[in-house]
């Protein structure tokens, strides 16, 4: 059954969204609206993890934009798009990544390191762990919970070009050489999903994972989408329907059409490559070339945003990103 949404809108729907039925959930604001329900996120996770029957997630707690802070020794922070914990003691982060960059693999490993430490700290303060005797706790001082990083990518996967799903884990080189491909630990998983490489039609969708990948890939097409007979999916689609979006969501979605963090990460890799290839030589020449490239990048960014129908106010803010 559809949830009634009270819409507060004081300005017309931006040009970028006119004629569209849904907001594009590969952008951060709509992505979080799509999964802003325990039922929706649990259905997605059950599908991606292949959980069925009694193995399905029973209880789930989650938060968006979860900042995880540590001192190692300097203050360090990562922000998970979605941080979730299950009643069975799993810890998960779900990330939506629109742009590919040269540090993508490094970033996934860094995020996973923070997730493992966060999971361990959360486990230590759980009622179950605290109920153990001091001796039992000491015995488990290296015990780690199950942690799963899920990366939803709007591009080809790093080592599985053309495929829409890949998994990473920790393997013994010797075991692999002997033909044994069982991970050293089942608690440490990376799952990667490529949205554009998911090419199944609506008729070919046959599991929960397929349903959510289909929505992520086709919500941006402009037209109505099937709910696949699921009230959970129906509600999720209503949350990203353009006519249901208030001003705050529309503005956030419009601004997020160009993200500073992803752009800077992508550019950092390009600059390093340019230097390695000798494109930036000499201080004065390098400065002139850098300024010209910066100007060209800004012009291309503005042209792209205008082609998407983004307002001039948002374009002005995007153009100011250096």
- What is the C-alpha to C-alpha distance for residues 320 and 313, in angstroms, rounded to an integer? 11
In terms of average pLDDT, the best of 25-29, 67-71, 274-278 is 25-29
Residue of 250, 228, 248 whose CA lies nearest to 237: 228
Helical H segments across 90-185, by residue range:
104-124, 127-130, 134-139, 173-177
pLDDT on residue 181: 87
More confident residue, 269 or 201: 201
Question: In this model, does residue 54 exceed pLDDT 60?
Answer: yes
Question: In this model, does residue 16 exceed pLDDT 90?
Answer: no
Which pTM was predicted? 0.79
Q: What is the pLDDT of residues 150-203, one digit of tens each?
A: 999 999 998 998 999 999 999 999 999 999 889 999 999 999 999 999 999 999
Question: In this model, does residue 77 exceed pLDDT 50?
Answer: yes
Question: In this model, does residue 128 exceed pLDDT 70?
Answer: yes
Task: Check: CB of residue 145 under 8 Å from CB of residue 187.
Answer: yes
**Tokens standing for 287?**
């400065």
Of 1-5, 39-43, 81-85, least confident by mean pLDDT is: 1-5
- What is the C-alpha to C-alpha distance for residues 55 and 46, in angstroms, rounded to an integer? 9
Q: What is the pLDDT of residues 293-316, one digit of tens each?
A: 667 667 766 765 565 555 666 666
Task: Check: CB of residue 149 under 8 Å from CB of residue 112.
Answer: yes
pLDDT on residue 272: 64
pLDDT on residue 294: 63
More confident residue, 154 or 257: 154
Mean pLDDT across the chain? 86
Helix (H, G, I), strand (E, B), or coil: what is residue 245? coil
> What percent of the chain is predicted at pLDDT more than 90?
63
Please state, as a whole number, how many other Cβ atoms lie within 10 Å of the Cβ of residue 151.
Answer: 24
> What percent of the chain is predicted at pLDDT more than 70?
78
Of 97-111, 130-144, 168-182, 265-279, least confident by mean pLDDT is: 265-279
Question: In this model, does residue 8 exceed pLDDT 60?
Answer: yes
pLDDT on residue 76: 81
Question: In this model, does residue 116 exceed pLDDT 70?
Answer: yes
Task: Check: CB of residue 111 under 8 Å from CB of residue 99.
Answer: no
Q: Which residues of 102-136 are buried (b: 16+ CB within 10 A; e: fewer)?
A: eebeeebeebbebbbebbbeebeeeeebeeeeeee
Mean pLDDT calculated for residue range 252-269? 67
Pairing between strand 188-194 and 147-153? parallel
pLDDT on residue 2: 47
pLDDT on residue 289: 65
Task: Check: CB of residue 64 under 8 Å from CB of residue 82.
Answer: yes
Q: What is the pLDDT of residues 197-253, one digit of tens each?
A: 999 999 999 999 999 999 999 999 999 999 999 999 999 999 999 999 999 999 899
pLDDT confidence tier of residue 1, bands split at 50, 70 and 90: very low
**Largest Cα–Cα distance of the chain, in whole Å?**
67
């Amino acid at each position: 059954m559809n949830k009634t949404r009270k819409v507060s809108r004081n300005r017309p729907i931006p040009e970028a969204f006119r004629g569209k039925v849904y907001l594009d959930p590969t952008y951060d604001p709509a992505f979080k609206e799509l999964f802003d329900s325990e039922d929706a996120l649990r259905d997605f996770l059950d599908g991606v993890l292949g959980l069925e029957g009694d193995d399905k997630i029973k209880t789930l707690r989650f938060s968006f934009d979860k900042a995880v802070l540590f001192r190692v020794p300097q203050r360090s922070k990562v922000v998970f798009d979605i941080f979730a914990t299950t009643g069975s003691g799993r810890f998960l982060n779900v990330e939506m990544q629109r742009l590919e960059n040269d540090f993508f693999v490094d970033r996934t490993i860094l995020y996973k390191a923070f997730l493992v430490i966060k999971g361990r700290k959360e486990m230590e303060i759980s009622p179950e762990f605290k109920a153990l005797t001091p001796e039992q706790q000491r015995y488990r001082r290296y015990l780690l919970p199950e942690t799963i990083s899920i990366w939803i990518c709007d591009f080809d996967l790093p080592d599985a070009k053309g495929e829409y799903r890949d998994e990473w884990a920790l393997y013994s080189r010797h075991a692999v050489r002997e033909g044994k491909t069982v991970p050293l630990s089942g608690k440490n998983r990376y799952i990667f999903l490529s949205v554009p490489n998911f090419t199944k039609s609506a008729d070919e969708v046959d599991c929960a994972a397929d349903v959510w990948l289909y929505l992520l890939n086709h919500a941006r097409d402009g037209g109505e989408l099937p709910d696949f007979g699921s009230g959970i999916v129906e509600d999720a689609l209503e949350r990203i329907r353009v006519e249901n979006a208030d001003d705050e969501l529309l503005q956030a979605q419009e601004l997020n059409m160009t993200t500073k963090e992803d752009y800077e990460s992508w550019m950092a890799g390009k600059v390093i490559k340019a230097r390695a290839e000798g494109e930036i030589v000499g201080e004065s020449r390098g400065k002139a070339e850098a300024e010209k490239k910066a100007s060209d990048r800004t012009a291309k960014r503005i042209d792209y945003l205008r082609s998407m129908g983004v307002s001039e106010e948002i374009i002005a803010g995007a153009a100011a990103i250096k």
